[in-house]
Chain A
Amino acid sequence: DGGITQSPKYLFRKEGQNVTLSCEQNLNHDAMYWYRQDPGQGLRLIYYSQIVNDFQKGDIAEGYSVSREKKESFPLTVTSAQKNPTAFYLCASSIMGQGVSEQFFGPGTRLTVL
């Protein structure tokens, strides 16, 4: 089955620790995205990548980092510099990084900072 996987589903982190969220897709999509959801807010873009070895910041990139070494993988690291990391994180991909391409979403990771 083609799709997007995210792991883990739930993640707990102590304050001050970095943590990496996994996102893998086997859809052969060029573009990948990371979003964050907080209560009462829409999905907000953290980072996106349109091709391997290239990525751009979204509106809320501070305190996060990404890499895109392989087409199918786009891990997100939440660093200790992120002031409010507790949130639900969604990864998505699309055939191309164009605004008319629909995005396919993973199941999400809920991160809780203790």
Chain B
Amino acid sequence: ILNVEQSPQSLHVQEGDSTNFTCSFPSSNFYALHWYRWETAKSPEALFVMTLNGDEKKKGRISATLNTKEGYSYLYIKGSQPEDSATYLCAFVSNTGNQFYFGTGTSLTVIP
């Protein structure tokens, strides 16, 4: 079982603050890295799929970077809004199979 770690475990920020969190994964056998947002009482929804070292993805105020050589990805949220409150999951996929290995998530609360 591969180890995927996310930090911090939880985060409280004020509305308007920018924030970022980390996903760490094995630096060998990389195939893909996924980010999901999981709001309370809803289903997880895909944010980004990242496949290349140095990849950067952006969707509105949310962006992500990828470093496969050192085994980490950052998720950034600029100008946090209350609707950004959710748990953010990352999932690592190795090139030895198609299984997703999920981290435990970062729980973000944006205080109005």
On A, residues with C-beta under 8 Å from B are 4, 33, 35, 40-45, 48, 50, 58-59, 90, 97-100, 102-108
Contacts and interface: CB of A to CB of B under 8 A. Distances in A.
A88 to B, nearest CB: 11
Contact of B98 (A42, A99, A105): A99
Given A99-B32, A99-B93, A45 B46 contact: no
A43 to B, nearest CB: 4
A104 B31 CA distance: 19
Contacts of B95: 99
Contacts of B51: 100
Most buried by B among A40, A97, A100: A100
Contacts of A41: 104
Interface residues of B, number: 26
- The DSSP consensus for interface residues of chain A is loop
Contacts of B91: 43
A42 B102 contact: yes
B104 A45 contact: no
B26 interface: no
Contacts of B43: 4, 90, 104-108
A45 B100 contact: yes
